[in-house]
Amino acid sequence: MRVEGAGALTSVKRSFFRHPAVVATGSAGLVALLGLNVTAFVRGVQSPWLLGAAIIADMVVIGLGILFAAREVLQADSRIEASKAQLEAIVDSAMDAIITVDEAQNIVLFNRAAEQVFRVRREEMLGTPLDRLLPARFRGAHRGHIEIFGRTGVTSRRMGDVTTLWGVRADGEEFPIEASISQALESGKRYYTVILRDITLRKQAEDALLESQRELRQLSARVLEAREEEKAHIARELHDELGQLLTALKMDLGWLRERLPAASELAPRTAEMGVLLDRTVTATRRISADLRPLMLDDLGLADAASWLVDDFAKRSGITSRIDVPAELPEVSKAVGTAVYRAIQESLTNIARHAGASSAWVVLGVEDGAIHVEVEDDGRGIAPEDLGKSRSLGLKGMRERIAFLGGTLEIARAPRGGTRLQLRVPLRGLAEETAA
C-alpha cells in the first residue's frame, strides 16, 4: 500500500494524534514533564526559574490537552452526524416501510417507503401515535400486544403469524400487511421498530387462487355427482329392463327345453344356451352392482359396505372382514356415496397391487363424523407412489372427501401393508353439495 506526505502519519481513523509515533512522542514528553515537576518540587525556592518553567510547561500541556479534547469532541459529533445521515440514507433507500416508535408508541422514524405505503408525508407523522396507521377496531389490541412484546425481552419476531395484519392509508383505505417488530434500548429508553410490506397484490392473488380452487372443487363435485346419477340410471336400466328381458328369455328357453325330445340333437345346444344365459344374467347383475349398488340407496351404507366386502372376498380370494356398528346413523346421499366409493377404491387397489392375504374394514361414528379404516397385510404403498399421475383413483377419492369437509390419510400399516383412514362429517358440507 503506497502512502505519501501527511498520510503517513494518519491512522485508519484519519486522526494525527492516534498515530503510534505521535503517541510514543507524547508519552515521552509527559514523562519528561513529570520529571521536571518532581525536580522543581524538590529544589523549590532554590531554583525559582526551574519552578517557573515547570508551571509554564504544565499550563502549556493543560492547554494542549483542552484543545485536543475539544477537537476530539467536535470530530465525534461530526462522525455521529455523518453516521446518522448515512443511516437515514440507508433507511430511506429500503424498499420496505420502516417505522420506529418510542415507549409511548409515538412515531420517531418514518422512512420514504412508509410515506408511499401510507400515502402521507413523514413530517405529518413524526410525533403522532402509531394508532393513526391502524384500523380503529385493532388499535386497542395492537397497543397491548406491543406492551407485552416489550416485557418479553425478545429482540425481534414476526407479527401476525396466524392472522392477517391490516393497515390504513391516509385516505382511509385499509390494506393487508406483513410485518416484523424489534426492540432496542437507547439511553435508558425503549424503542420499537416495525418493518412492514404491503401485500395487497399477493393477498388478492391468494384469494383468487383459493376461489379458483373452491370453484374447481365444486365443479369436480358436480361432475362426480352427475357421474353417480348416470351410473345409478344405467344400473337401474340394467337391473330392471335388461334383467327382465333376460329373465323372460330364460323362461322361454326353459319352456322350449321341456318340449324338445331328450334324444334330439338340439338338446345339448339348448343346455349350452341355458348356461350362457345364466352367465349373462350374473354378469349383468355384477356390472349393475359395480356401477351403483341399489342397496346403497335402498338399505343404506352399512348393508352396502358389508355386501361390498363379502363380494370382494369371493372374487379376489383375499380373506376380508368388516366391522360395522349395530346402529350406524343415517348419512346424506353424498356422504354415503363418498364413503362407499372410498372403500371400493381401496379394495380394488388391494386386489391389484398389495399382494395381500387379508384385508380389514372398520366403520365407526365419533363426534358427529363417520370414520373408516381400510387395512391390508400386503407389501404396502411407497410414499412416492401416492403422487404419481396414475394414482387418479386416490386423487379423486381425496378430492371427494375434501369437498365434503373430511380428511383422508394413507400410510403404512402396523401389519406391513397399507392403511387408509378417512373422516367425513355426517352433516355440514353434504347439504352444500346437494344444493
* Residues 97, 114 contacting (CB under 8 angstroms): yes
What distance in Å separates the CA atoms of residue 197 and residue 192, rounded to the nearest whole number? 17
pLDDT on residue 154: 76
pLDDT on residue 174: 92
Instruction: Please state the pTM of the whole predicted model.
Output: 0.54
pLDDT on residue 62: 76
* Buried b or exposed e, range 65-98, using 16+ CB within 10 angstroms: eeeeeeeeeeeeeeeeeeeeeeeeeebeeeebbb
Written as one string, the DSSP assignment of 404-417 is TT-EEEEEE-TTSS
At 429, which helix (H) or strand (E)? helix 429-434
Residues 6 or more apart whose CB falls under 8 angstroms from that of 376 comprise 318, 350, 354, 356, 358, 359, 360, 413, 415, 417, 418
The residue assigned the cell 392509508 is 169
What distance in Å separates the CA atoms of residue 209 and residue 292, rounded to the nearest whole number? 35
* pLDDT tens digits in sequence order for the chain, 435 residues long: 333 333 333 334 455 556 677 667 767 766 676 776 667 666 665 666 666 676 777 677 777 777 777 777 776 777 777 677 777 777 778 888 999 999 888 999 999 999 999 999 989 999 999 989 999 888 888 888 888 888 877 777 777 665 678 999 989 999 999 888 898 888 888 899 999 999 999 888 988 998 888 888 778 777 777 877 787 788 778 777 787 888 888 888 888 877 777 667 777 888 888 888 888 888 887 787 777 777 777 788 888 888 889 988 988 888 899 998 878 887 888 888 888 888 888 888 888 888 888 899 999 888 888 899 998 888 877 666 655 544 566 777 777 888 888 888 888 887 778 888 999 888 644 444 444
DSSP reduced 3-state for 181: strand
* Alpha helix positions (H), 168-300: 200-237, 243-259, 266-291, 294-298
Q: From residue 330, give the alpha-carbon distance in Å to each of 78, 121, 284, 297, 419.
A: 82, 64, 29, 12, 25
Q: Which cell goes with 111?
A: 422512512
pLDDT on residue 118: 93
